[in-house]
Structure 1
Amino acid sequence: MFYEDLTEYDYGDEDSFTDRESGFYALWYRPTYARLNVGWLEAGRPYRTGMVPVEFTEKLKAIQKIHCVNICLGVHECDLCPLEEAPEGNGEVRIPGAPGVAYAAPFLITHYITAHRYRPPRVFVDAVLAVDLDAWAATRWPDVPFPWIPDDAERMVE
């Protein structure tokens, strides 16, 4: 699935966050912030390549360990890799940017960066580096490690 970087995310109207420990509890809501695509790559489509800071890649990997968004039942394989080696992803990550903006990236984004030298836009790199990872890692359900969850978000708690 390909989307040009920094275009409006329109894959779904709602965002759904899943509890990372149970994998069962969830909350969902219709975002009031703008969601911008980052890292939705596809074979045959050009993308920027180059070096990114090591601390950025490591922080993004750490965020993905504690942050589960729009988890799907099916999986998406990296079509840039040979079929027998293609890793799979089934969700997304949200990174807060400037006020009112969140970046929407596929879970395979760290693979694209490390295996295919994808270089995300600088605003995304800066936003990842700005995440308070300690605060996000300390967050426990029913709270979610993302700053703009509305109070009226629907929650599945049992």
Structure 2
Amino acid sequence: MLYEDLTAYDYQDEDAFTDRESGLCALWYRPAYSRLNIGWLEAGKPYSTGAVPAVFVEKLKAVQEVQWMNVCLGLHTCDLCPGEEAPEGNGEVRIPGEPGVAYAAPFLITHYITAHGYRPPQVFIDAVLAVDLAAWACARWPDVPFPWVPQDAERVLE
């Protein structure tokens, strides 16, 4: 699933969060913000490479521990990895950027960075570093770890 970095995300019309603890509760809404693709890589297609700060990688991993976004039933296997040991992912990550912009990345983004040397655009790195991880980590259902969820989001509570 190749999407060029910083192009408009159009894979799904709505954004949906699932409660990580129950796996049953969910909320979804049509975003009022623009979503930009980050890190949607495909074997055989070029992508940006280079070093990234270790603190960025650790913070991105921590975000992925608390945010469960657009989880799908099927799995996407990293096609950059040879053989059968390739990791799988089935969701996405949302990182708020400048006002009105959120970055949409596949859950495998951390793997792409650490195993394949992918270097996301600097604006994404800066946005991840700006996340208030303490606030996101303490969010408990029905609150979710993302600041731009509208009050009228549809919620499934059980």
Q: Say if 2:98 is the partner of 1:110.
A: no
What amino acid is aligned across from residue 132 of structure 1 in structure 2?
D
Q: Give the Cα separation in 1 of the matches to 2:111 and 2:154.
A: 32
Q: Say if 2:95 is the partner of 1:60.
A: no
Q: Give the Cα separation in 2 of the matches to 1:113 and 1:157.
A: 35
Q: Counterpart of 2:38?
A: 38
Q: Give the Cα separation in 2 of the matches to 1:80 and 1:142.
A: 36
Deviation at 1:102, TM superposition (A): 0.1
Deviations 1:134-157 (A, max 9, x none): 000011000011000000000000
Q: Give the Cα separation in 2 of the matches to 1:8 and 1:14.
A: 14
Q: Say if 2:123 is the partner of 1:96.
A: no
Q: Give the Cα separation in 2 of the matches to 1:155 and 1:141.
A: 10
Q: Counterpart of 2:121?
A: 121
Contiguous gaps of at least 5 residues in structure 1: none
Q: Say if 2:84 is the partner of 1:84.
A: yes
Q: Give the Cα separation in 2 of the matches to 1:57 and 1:109.
A: 10
Q: Give the Cα separation in 1 of the matches to 2:139 and 2:92.
A: 19
TM-score normalised by the chain length of structure 1:
0.99
Secondary structure at the aligned position of 1:24 is classed as coil
Number of positions where the alignment pairs a residue of Structure 1 with one of Structure 2: 158
Secondary structure at the aligned position of 2:84 is classed as helix
Deviation at 1:24, TM superposition (A): 1.1
Secondary structure at the aligned position of 1:127 is classed as helix
What amino acid is aligned across from residue 36 of structure 1 in structure 2?
L
Deviations 1:59-89 (A, max 9, x none): 0000000000000000000000013121000
What amino acid is aligned across from residue 17 of structure 1 in structure 2?
F
Q: Counterpart of 2:73?
A: 73
Q: Give the Cα separation in 2 of the matches to 1:88 and 1:21.
A: 20
Deviation at 1:23, TM superposition (A): 1.1
Give RMSD over aligned pairs.
0.5
Q: Counterpart of 2:150?
A: 150
What amino acid is aligned across from residue 59 of structure 2 in structure 1?
K
TM-score normalised by the chain length of structure 2:
0.99
Deviations 1:23-47 (A, max 9, x none): 1100000001000000000001100
What amino acid is aligned across from residue 69 of structure 1 in structure 2?
M
Q: Give the Cα separation in 1 of the matches to 2:94 and 2:47.
A: 20
Deviation at 1:110, TM superposition (A): 0.2
Percent of aligned pairs with the same amino acid = 77
